[in-house]
Amino acid sequence: MSDTFCGFVALIGAPNAGKSTLINALVGSKVSVVSRKAQTTRTSVRGIVIEGAAQIIFVDTPGLFAPKRRLDRAMAASAWGAAADADVLALLIDARQEIQASASSGRAAPAHAPSDAPPGERPPPASLSEQTEEILRALRDSKTPKALVLNKIDLVDRPALLSLAAKLNAALEFKETFMVSAATGDGLDKLRERLGRMMPPGPWLYPEDQITDAPLRSLAAEITREKLFERLHDELPYQATVETDQWKTLPDGSVRIEQTIFVTRDSHKKIVIGEGGRTIKAIGSAARKEIAEANDGPVHLFLFVKVRANWLDDPERYRAMGLEFPKS
């Protein structure tokens, strides 16, 4: 009998539910990038946590939504792939958004099951958003144990939260329900502890001090992309990708990093650079600070912007992101 435990917990959910914020909070360090905008995470990122005798490998995934473009399809495939390999599926719900969506959906929930309902039959789940209903439908046939994680509880009141938890549990079987705030840390100790107990026996897959499987150069590219997301208007970030081209340790111990920001249009290049180079300078300076922190030492960051009208159809760009290239 093994005296250690190890397994995978896939964090899945709609865009913007707070999956990346949660994985960072659970790990206690930034392994995945976060933004106010939906569809920030593009590939599955591992964050590794030790909880007693268990090593929990959390997998942050791209938000689940109906894929339209090729990049969307690659992101969705990455999320569902991570879900298929997991020992536990943790479904993350943005509690505030879900409560608001149900309040405005107009489909009033019956307070109790109708009295003529057959005994033991669950009342139909009422007033969940269409997006959540769709994710629940997709999860219905999966045999993997599921945990429900209601996030952003710092933004909602207790009665609405409890009613949401009841509705979701009526719609799908969850082994556990957690109410957390990835932003404040509320509920995270319990979440870690209970998920640790759900891990199967087995040796740890990573050294004790390792917190992610992503090499620093990909994390560095992601950090720069996050700064792009923060500064630029809505459509542009989806049309941009960042790659680390060079990572060179200099004799004084500092690192010289060169990165390319690929955009699809000349007008986008102008926006990224900004008047007199102001925007790219701000992006570079914010990214440099954070990359230096991740690297635990000084870095010199050089950013280049290239127009590649077709990067969204270029297999090489997907490979660089760690995504499979969908054939169509």
Tell me which of ligand GTP, Mg ion, none is bound by residue 53, counting a contact when its beta carbon lies within the kind-specific cut-off of 5 to 8 angstroms.
none
Residue 176's binding partner out of Mg ion, ligand GTP, none, with CB under 5 to 8 Å set by partner kind:
none
Query: Of the candidates 9, 11, 12, 20, which one interacts with Mg ion according to CB under 5 A?
Result: 20
Closest approach of ligand GTP to the CB of residue 84, in Å: 18
Q: Considering Cα of 164, then 167, then 171, then 172, what sign does the dihedral take?
A: positive
Q: Let me know: does 129 contact 187? Beta carbons within 8 Å.
A: no
The answer to the question of residue 35 lying near Mg ion (CB under 5 A) is: no
DSSP 173-229: --SEEEE--TTT-TTHHHHHHHHHHTSPB---SS-TT--BSS-HHHHHHHHHHHHHH
Name the minimum Å distance from CB 40 to ligand GTP. 4
CB 135 within 8 A of CB 65: no
| Closest to Mg ion by CB, 102 or 151 | 151
Give the interface size with Mg ion as a residue count (CB under 5 A): 4
List the single partner that 55 binds among Mg ion, ligand GTP, none, CB under 5 to 8 Å by kind: none
- Binding-site member from 24, 35, 40, 295 for Mg ion (CB under 5 A): 40
CB of 14 to ligand GTP, least distance (A): 7
14: left (phi over 0), alpha (psi -120 to 50) or beta: beta
DSSP annotation of 15 reads: T
CB burial of residue 282 (10 Å; 0-12, 13-18, 19+): middle
> Radius of gyration of the chain from Cα atoms?
21
Choose between 96 and 225: whose C-beta lies nearer to Mg ion: 225
Query: Which listed option, Mg ion, ligand GTP, none, makes contact with residue 43 (CB within 5 to 8 Å by class)?
Result: none
Q: How far is the CB of 59 from ligand GTP (least distance, A)?
A: 12
39 binds, among ligand GTP, Mg ion, none (CB under 5 to 8 A by kind): ligand GTP
What residue ranges bind ligand GTP (CB under 6 A)?
15-21, 34-36, 38-41, 62-63, 151-152, 154-155, 181-183
Cβ 60 to Mg ion shortest distance, Å = 6
Q: How far is the CB of 249 from ligand GTP (least distance, A)?
A: 31
- Least distance between ligand GTP and beta carbon 256 (Å): 30
- At its nearest, how many Å lie between Mg ion and the CB of residue 97? 15
Structure tokens that stand for 8 in this block: 């995978």
Which of ligand GTP, Mg ion, none does residue 237 bind (CB under 5 to 8 Å by kind)?
Answer: none
Contact 179, 165 (CB under 8 A): yes
Q: CB under 8 Å to 251, separation ≥6 — which residues?
A: none
Name the token pair of 96. 């505030």
Q: Collapsing DSSP states into helix, strand and coil, what is residue 121? A: coil
| CB-nearer residue toward ligand GTP: 7 or 13 | 13
Residue 128: strand pairing partners: none
- Residue 40 or residue 55: which is nearer to Mg ion going by CB? 40
Measured distance CA(34)–CA(45) in Å, rounded: 12
Identity of the residue, 20 or 218, whose beta carbon is nearer to ligand GTP in the bound complex: 20
Tokens of residue 251, six digits: 């004799």
Which chain residues interact with Mg ion by CB under 5 A? 19-20, 40-41
